[in-house]
Structure 1
Amino acid sequence: MGQPSSADDDGKGARSGIGVVDKSVAILASVALAPRALADLVATTELPRATAHRLAVALEAHRLLARDSEGRFVLGPRVGELAAALPDPVIVAAGPVLAWLRDECGESAQLYRRDGAERVCVAAAERAHGLRTTVPVGTRLPLSAGSGAQVLCAWSDPASLAGIDAFPERTLNEVRRRGWAQSIGQREAGVASVSAPVLSPEGDLLAAISISGPVERLGRSPGARFAPVLTRGAHRITSTLTP
């Protein structure tokens, strides 16, 4: 038996030297690109028809593949379930930063991600004592109000905001220019917030990091006071993600 190689001779990807595994991965990789009828699967993987069919059906039994309405092979639900079980590196990196923000600012801190026309709180560090604004993890809020929504809209592809009741382009341009956003009573009366974008090492939007609390404590211009801390926290998360 030959030694396992790090790449196929034809340049199609890595091989382990275990034939059934390599062939199964080739099938999954092909289906990940587009739904495949059996003939397409044979053509893209260059596997014998009987082998491609046998392995695809076996992967279907394990819910790694499924069939669409036209009978073509597509990725199955088990793929998403396995991916969801992995720790999210952004949330892991944000945990200690949110706690630091809460302690530095004395206010509750949150991490938001965009999901269509909403933003979702995916991590939080709550103020332990006194009057606080609590946003439980999993809370969904519209993209039409709040500093976190401003940030997520400002760094999103404008085409993806079509049909969403978001913010005027003038507002989003100003948020991008400053590098942060603030809001006073936008989402909830008496509540102020400041947010900054969390970007990937390549500069793509990952999330918005925020603090929020009563206007009486944050004031009417909370950005001037807290934005430097928010942007520093966002940079800390990004630096953790840098290879």
Structure 2
Amino acid sequence: MGVLDKAAVLLEILESGPASLVELVAYSGMSRPTTHRIAVAMERLGLLTRDVQGRFMLGPRLGMLAVEVRHDRLAEVAGPVLAELAARTGLAARLYRRRRALQICVGSSVDAFDGIDAAGCDPAAVGTARPASAGPGAQVLYAWAEPEELYEGLRHARFTPAQLAVVRRRCWAYGPDPIAPRAVSYAVPVRAASGAVAEALVLTGSGARMPEAPDRQLSRAAADAAASLNDALLRGTGELSPAGRVGS
């Protein structure tokens, strides 16, 4: 139980974002050998991973567990839609869902992005969990959040209420993506039947591939993909509706 308690402390620290071993020791109050031993063991289990700077961060296994627990029609149909979107744009296409302070990849295209993470793995892998504290996907996932959720999210976020107000007005977010180094992302919301944002549809590419600002072609492709997701869901459960056509 003592080891589990210590592991839980590390997970709680990393919910706010990546941290070095020195930071984990300082925040947890544990000794350096104990912190290192537990963190490395959790890394072997896939509960933690490391970013390009060697800092510890939440690992893909946590996301996979969440995906399995909440496995739904959207996760089933997203693959082909995202693959088609990637082929159409030449960009990586992903679908993210927020769980508390995390954004979890619940759908990903075949790797169309030319970057890899520190472990040499596709950063868009299904089940990958990252803090929802920065980037266009996180902004979309928080822009329409309830006030209490928004307050908690903004405590650790690198975006501001003013930026989220712009996202709500435009119905999209665009900019650097911390999930993939040197990448730029364009994100649009996918809404539940209630009108709440259920997922963020995210297109990601290197800075050289992405336009300076979202153009009509990029916006149309994302809107068509959202519509395709909606059609597939309606044929199944009718649970979700698209965010609406963007930039048309």
TM-score, structure 1 as length reference:
0.59
The reply on whether 1:168 has 2:160 as its aligned counterpart is yes
Distance 1:223-1:158 versus aligned 2 partners, 3 A rule:
farther
Q: Does 1:131 align with 2:102?
A: no
- Tell me, yes or no, if the aligned pair for 2:82 and 2:109 is still in contact at 8 Å: yes
Which residue in 2 is equivalent to 1:94? 78
Structure of larger gyration radius? 1
2:130 aligned residue: 141
- Displacement, 1:126? 2.7
Per mean C-alpha deviation after superposition, the further-off stretch among 98-107 and 85-94 is 85-94
Show the counterpart of 2:219: 227
1:109 & 1:230 partners in 2: Cα distance?
9
Identity of aligned residues (%): 33
Query: 1:151 is matched with which residue?
Result: 140
Once the two structures are superposed, residues 166-215 of structure 1 have per-residue CA deviations (whole angstroms, 9 ceiling, x without a partner) of 32111111111111111125555421011111112332222111111100
> Residues 74 and 229 of structure 2 are in contact (CA less than 8 Å); yes or no, is this contact kept in structure 1?
yes
Q: Contact conserved, 1:194 with 1:223, CA < 8 A, in 2?
A: no
Residues 200 and 238, structure 1, Cα contact 8 Å, conserved in 2: no
Q: What does residue 61 of structure 1 align with?
A: none
The offset of 1:227, in angstroms, is 2.3
Instruction: Check conservation: 1:111, 1:210, Cα contact below 8 A.
Output: yes
Partner of 1:180: 172
In structure 1, what is the equivalent of residue 106 of structure 2?
122
**1:85 deviation in Å?**
7.4
User: CA 1:100/1:188 → structure 2, altered by over 3 Å: closer, same or farther?
Assistant: closer
Q: TM-score, normalised by structure 2?
A: 0.58
Cα distance in 2 between the residues matched to 1:209 and 1:188: 16
Larger RCO: 1 or 2 (CA < 8 Å, sep 6+): 2
**CA distance change for structure 1 residues 86 and 110 in 2, over 3 Å: closer, same or farther?**
closer
Gaps of 5+ in 1: 1-80
Structure 2 Cα separation of the partners of residues 191 and 221 of structure 1:
14
Per-residue CA distance 1:103-129 (angstroms, 9 max, x = gap): 11111111100011110111101335x
- TM-align CA RMSD: 2.6
Query: Structure 1: how far apart are the matches of 2:152 and 2:71?
Result: 33
Match runs of 1:209-220 below 5 Å:
209-220=201-212
Equivalent-residue separation in structure 2 for 1:234 and 1:186 (angstroms): 23
Are 2:223 and 1:240 aligned?
Answer: no
